[in-house]
Amino acid sequence: LPVIRMCLSQHLLIVVVGDSAVGKTQLLGRFTKDEFHFDSKSTIGVEFQTRTLNLNRKRIKAQIWDTAGQERYRAITNAYYRGAVGAMLVYDVTRRHTFDHIAKWIEELRANADNSIVVVLIGNKSDLVGKREVSLDDAVEFAEEQGLFFSEASALSGENVETAFLMLLEEIYGVVS
């Protein structure tokens, strides 16, 4: 039944995690709607956005959860790690502590998510060249140690956002299909 099969899309659940204000919501908005807002409000609890795209001639519906970084929302977010096939770990290249916290986020992922979850590390706000506090070398070294895919990106300029999400989706697709 080729017609019916063409209409079915595979749902992939992805979570975006990282400290507050690293740009998780804007990365998501850039990827799903090609939008960016300077005055974005903090995400309360968990929200999701979707984008349907074709990958290897298959229709993929990426359902991406935007989780809040605050401790008090942990109880909510933990439930959403279940069933997630991919995770985007985000830090802000202009705030060192958001990079230092990535190890904590990895622990949380390992404790709550499926073992086969594909993880990509993203250093966001690469457009703020003069304000950088995390070098590319440090991030590459850390990503290699941890066995993570890595890219710097800018939700503002859009640089590498599409590539980063596609890298994650292609890898997930390789794992789940």
29 vs 86, beta carbon nearer ligand GDP: 29
Q: Are 120 and 148 in contact (CB under 8 A)?
A: yes
43 vs 151, beta carbon nearer ligand GDP: 43
For CA atoms 13, 14, 20, 24, give the dihedral sign.
Answer: negative
Task: Determine which helix (DSSP H) or strand (DSSP E) holds 13, and give its type and residue range.
Answer: strand 10-17
- The rounded distance, in Å, linking the Cα atoms of 15 and 22 is 15
Q: Which window, 48-56, 75-83, 109-117, 152-160, contacts ligand GDP (CB under 6 A)?
A: 152-160
Burial 7-25 (b: 16+ CB within 10 A, else e): eeeeebbbbbbbbebbbbb
For residue 17, the minimal CB distance to ligand GDP (Å) is 9
Residues 120-149: x where in contact with ligand GDP by CB under 6 A, - otherwise, as a string: ----xx-xx---------------------
Q: And the tokens for 29?
A: 């908005």
Residues with Cβ < 8 Å from 79, sequence gap 6 or more?
none
Residues with Cβ < 8 Å from 130, sequence gap 6 or more?
none
Q: Which of residues 94-123 bind ligand GDP (CB under 6 A)?
A: none
- Which residue in the shown chain puts its C-beta closest to ligand GDP? 23
- The rounded distance, in Å, linking the Cα atoms of 177 and 175 is 6
Residue 163 touches ligand GDP, criterion: CB under 6 A: no
Q: Which of residues 5-64 bind ligand GDP (CB under 6 A)?
A: 20-26, 38, 40, 42-43
For residue 84, the minimal CB distance to ligand GDP (Å) is 17
12 vs 28, beta carbon nearer ligand GDP: 28
For residue 37, the minimal CB distance to ligand GDP (Å) is 6
Which residues of this chain interact with ligand GDP, rule CB under 6 A?
20-26, 38, 40, 42-43, 124-125, 127-128, 154-156
